[in-house]
Amino acid sequence: MSQANNMTQPVKSVSKEKQKKNAVMIIVETFAVLLCAVFFLVPFYFIIVNSMKTSADAAKLSIAWPTEFRIWDNLVEVIRARDYMVLTAFFNSTVITVVSIILLIIVGSMAAFVLHRRVSKLSRSLSGLFLAGLMIPPAVVPTIWVLEQLNIFKTFTGIILVEVAIQIPFTILLYTGFIAAIPKEIDEAAIIDGCGGGKLFFRIIFPMLKPVHSTVIILNAVTIFNDFVHPLYFFPGSENATVQLTLYNFMSMYNTDWNLLFANVLLITIPPFILFLFFSEKIVSGMAAGAVKG
């Protein structure tokens, strides 16, 4: 790496071989960045540019620079559409995401604690049962049937509980990995001091899980906010809009106004982008760790 810097100031001691290596490295670098830009940045550039255009301009579907900047008008029009549907959708999605995550943190960490610490046949088979949820696709209509029996179909309670049920296996997986690293001696010391199970967990273990809590929050936030399938099935109805459902519906509504559609795409991509800016390391390591342990 430092050799490359020497390139600019020709030093005689740098052998020809090294120079050749550096040249190859620079070609590889340029090539990698270029390919990456073409394949991965152009689509985003396309979204941004088209969200700024006029309707006629966007109809050309090109990546040309806008002739007239209309980003603000486009955003306002998208937000006003169908009686501020986008705002309702953002509100609904936020409620679903936040409440689901709070439940997942509490319920998931408690479960992971017991599943990891308890040594018995039953707890091992329960672990297996939870892990199976990582692979098995949810049964759609039967879930609707259960929700209807409980009178929570098409309600916030219903969709939130479904999101929790779907995400709990992955959440438990993340917590178990971390709890395994907490020495059992800590439990024993607390037990000797007279702590019961609940107190031990909430007073001592739960605060120690802070690093995983943040991983759990970020990963679940992205998954639940971006979820399209489950709200589609379990949270239907025009007033029950979520951001992804709204975007999907706008696709047929704006099939001639690409500028508005892409303004909506842009709007929806901003929250994950902000998360990525601040927590990219956490997201990447969390996803890789969760996956490898699974």
Partner 1 sequence: MKSNKVYSYWLLLPALLIYGLLFLYPTIVSFFFGFTRWTLTDWDWIGLENFRMFFQEPSLMIGFKNTFIFAFLTAGLKVVIGVFLAVILTSKLRTKRFVRSTIFFPVLVSTIAVGITFSVLMHPSEGLINLALDLFGIDGPDWLGNPDLAIYSVALVDVWKGLGIATVILIAGMMSIPRDYYEAIQIDGGNKWDAFRFITLPLSRPAINTVILLALIGGLRTFDLVWTMTGGGPGFSSDLIASIIYKQYQAGFYGLSTAGNVLLFLMVAIVVFPLFKFLNRKEVDL
Q: Which of residues 165-224 bind partner 1 (CB under 8 A)?
A: 165-166, 168-169, 172, 187-188, 191, 196-198, 200-201, 222
Instruction: Indicate which single residue of 42, 56, 180, 189 sits in contact with partner 1 (rule: CB under 8 A).
Output: 42
Min dist CB 78 to partner 1, Å, is 13
Residue with smaller CB distance to partner 1, 71 or 107? 107
Stretch that binds partner 1, among 11-19, 68-76, 79-87, 266-274 (CB under 8 A): 266-274
Residue with smaller CB distance to partner 1, 12 or 188? 188
Do the Cβ atoms of 108 and 123 come closer than 8 Å? no
Residues 195-215: b if buried by 16+ CB within 10 A, e if exposed: beeeebbeebbbeebeebbeb
Min dist CB 71 to partner 1, Å, is 17
Instruction: Indicate which single residue of 54, 55, 155, 226 sits in contact with partner 1 (rule: CB under 8 A).
Output: 226
Site for partner 1 in 53-82 (CB under 8 A): 60-63
Site for partner 1 in 114-153 (CB under 8 A): 114-115, 117-120, 126, 129-130, 133-148, 150
Residues 22-61: b if buried by 16+ CB within 10 A, e if exposed: beeeeeeeeeeeeeeeeeeeeeeeeebbbbbbbeebbeee
Instruction: Give, in order, the Cα–Cα distances in Å from 50 to each of 27, 60, 79.
Output: 32, 10, 17
Under DSSP, the state recorded for 9 is: S
